[in-house]
Amino acid sequence: MIKSQIYHSKYLPTFQKLGNHSVFAIIALIVIGGTTRVMEAGLACPDWPLCYGSFLPLNHMNFRVFLEWFHRLDAFLVGSLILSKFVLSIIWRKELPNWLPKT
Q: Please give the single-letter amino acid code of residue 56.
A: L
Sorted by sequence, the CB contacts under 8 Å of residue 85 that are 6+ apart come out as: 15, 18, 19, 22
Residue 72 lies in a domain: yes
Is 7 among the domain residues?
no
- Residue 67: CB atoms within 10 Å: 22
| pLDDT tens, the chain, 103 aa long | 455 444 456 777 787 888 899 999 999 999 999 999 999 888 888 888 888 888 888 899 899 999 999 999 999 999 999 999 888 888 877 776 666 665 5
Q: Is residue 6 part of a domain?
A: no
Q: Is the peptide bond before 49 cis (omega within 30 degrees of 0)?
A: yes
Please check whether residue 87 lies inside any domain of the structure.
yes
Based on the structure, what is the number of domains in the chain?
1
In a domain, 26, yes or no: yes
Q: What residues make up the domain containing 70? A: 17-95
CB 32 within 8 A of CB 67: yes
